[in-house]
Amino acid sequence: MVQPQGFEVDNHKDKVYRLRKALYGLKQAPRAWNQRIDGFMGRLGFEKCTSEHGVYVKERNKDGKTGKLIVCLYVDDLLVTGSSEKLIAEFKAEMISEFEMSDLGRLSYFLGIKFSENEYGIVMHQSRYAQEILRKFDMHKSNPAITPAEVGLRLEKEPEEAMVDPTEFRKIVGSLRYICCTRPDLCFSVRLISRYMQSPRQSHLNAAKRIMRYLQGTCDFGILIPKGNPDTDMKVTAYSYADWCGDKDDRKSTVGSIFFLEKSPISWRSSKEQVVALSSCEAEYVAACEATCQAVWWNSLIEELKVRLLEKINLFVDNKSAIDLANHPASHGRSKHIETKYHFIRDQVSKKKVEIAHCRSEMQLSDILTKALKREHFKELRRLIGVINVNEFLT
């Protein structure tokens, strides 16, 4: 470190200021702040979740009753919930006595997501953000589309088409990716166009505009988290599916999974597998293994939140061969080449942490995360995974 040019002090040019407190903009500031708030939460009796380091839990017994506080930390913003208003008020008073902070009241708007509470539960959506995207890319007057992608859509990496502005295309993709936080029905389509940001062509841009046209007609869609009974145990269910060899370029399968806490979607994923599957059974087996990893993580987090699960997590798969392969660790010509890491699912099944169950293909909810579907089937799956028109629940 040296003194800034033009501000050197004669006879003391070898001296610089010593940093005593980390300031905004410096590389060490985030770590210093995290150590500060983490130490204070520990002194208050909170336990940090090892599965999710930004979540703290505190449970105490008083007058024969058990009270619980859960705090979610995002940089310097905190979300607080608990079993009673009194516990929450006491925590706020302790925080205000230690830090300069503002109490914004009940959760209404956080990280671009709108939260509205009513008699049915909590509705979360990004209507305002969706409208901003459409205006930003001059699509707010476009004709709405029924689905986010055409049936049987298959994009190629470098087709013989005219190139489009890569910077503008990346802006569109980046904007659409964030809205997937509350819109699992958009997840597959947005992940699909995300693969072509290197050298986008006209067909890739057309697919992106199709998503925005669908968004134009569904700006007010979001997720309803219905109210539950606090005295009953919770249940987690999951669906896993794979579209075998769905990518034309490398023949890798597209996988999708979605998790529900009771009837509320809490996690979803759409991506390509890391290996080329030689059969639909292998593709489904690999997809189920990746969903099992997520299920184990959810199980650990829920245990740390001190929430009781009614039973082990049920994972629904519509391929009976993949289910048999997970339940019966037999090796034969069609499975002995599968990498060892994907047999993790067998270990979790034997420990009874996850139960693999069969479901009909028509009721495979994660199908919406793997490929473009026909209009009626898409709308039915969209309803079943919990994406609703928020205006119907806010009026």
pLDDT digits (tens, 9 = 90+) for 152-181: 888 888 888 889 999 999 999 999 999 999
Residue 38, domain member (yes or no)? yes
Together in a domain, 238 and 354: yes
Together in a domain, 88 and 49: yes
Residue 239, domain member (yes or no)? yes
The continuous run of DSSP H or E covering 213 comes out as helix 202-217
What is the model's pLDDT at position 332?
A: 55
Together in a domain, 247 and 350: yes
CATH code for the domain in which residue 303 is found: 3.30.420.10
Give the residue from 36, 71, 105 where a domain finishes.
105
What is the model's pLDDT at position 345?
A: 84
Q: What is the pLDDT of residues 98-147, one digit of tens each?
A: 988 888 888 888 888 999 888 888 899 999 999 999 999 999 989 999 99
What is the model's pLDDT at position 82?
A: 87
Q: In the chain, what is the greatest distance between 2 CA atoms, to the nearest angstrom?
A: 82
Domain limits at 347? Answer: 229-359
pLDDT higher than 90, residue 76: no
What is the model's pLDDT at position 231?
A: 67
Q: Helix-strand-coil percent breakdown of the chain, rounded to 5?
A: 35, 20, 40
Together in a domain, 72 and 138: no
Together in a domain, 327 and 349: yes
What is the model's pLDDT at position 367?
A: 92
Residue 117, domain member (yes or no)? no
Together in a domain, 268 and 352: yes
CATH code for the domain in which residue 62 is found: 3.30.310
Together in a domain, 339 and 240: yes
What does the pLDDT average to over 212-217? Answer: 94
Residues 6 or more apart whose Cβ sits within 8 Å of residue 169: 197, 200, 204, 205, 208
Together in a domain, 202 and 286: no
pLDDT higher than 80, residue 64: no
Residue 291, domain member (yes or no)? yes
- 328 compared with 195, residue with greater pLDDT: 195
What is the model's pLDDT at position 227?
A: 83
Task: Report if pTM > 0.75.
Answer: yes
What is the model's pLDDT at position 70?
A: 93
Residue 118, domain member (yes or no)? no
Residue 242, domain member (yes or no)? yes
Q: What is the pLDDT of residues 176-212, one digit of tens each?
A: 999 999 999 999 999 999 999 988 999 999 999 999 9
Distance CA 302, CA 291 (A): 16
What does the pLDDT average to over 242-255? Answer: 85
* Domain count of the fold of the chain: 3
Residues 6 or more apart whose Cβ sits within 8 Å of residue 112: 126, 128, 129, 178
Angle formed at CA 116 by CA 115 and CA 119, multiple of 5 degrees: 140
Together in a domain, 212 and 249: no
Residue 112, domain member (yes or no)? no
